Amino acid sequence: MAMHYFHLSNGHTTLDNVGTDLSGLISIRQEAVRALREFLNVGPTDSLWTGEPWKVWVTDQPSAHGQTILTLEVSAR
């Protein structure tokens, strides 16, 4: 298992400094989708409708440093 850091950009950028201990790409993908669902369900979504994508990206080091493992983007118009 290894630590992975889930960052969010939705008009504001939130960087993960705590991380989640996950093993394998399948677990990372599932957590990225879960995180994006949570971000969509919490707080205002006005910035989503401007056409600017919301993005969750996962790195192997805190504060968006290190290698990017995957990126998940959602946009709406």
Query: What three-state secondary structure class fits 33?
Result: helix
Q: What does pTM read for this prediction?
A: 0.88
Find the mean pLDDT for residues 19-33. 95
| Biggest alpha carbon–alpha carbon distance for the chain | 38
Intra-chain end-to-end CA distance of the chain, in Å:
38
> Could you tell me which residue, 49 or 44, shows the higher pLDDT?
49
Q: How high is the pLDDT of residue 73?
A: 94
Number of domains in the chain: 1
Which residue range is the domain that position 28 belongs to?
2-74
Which of helix, strand or coil describes residue 71? strand
Is residue 69 predicted with pLDDT exceeding 80?
A: yes
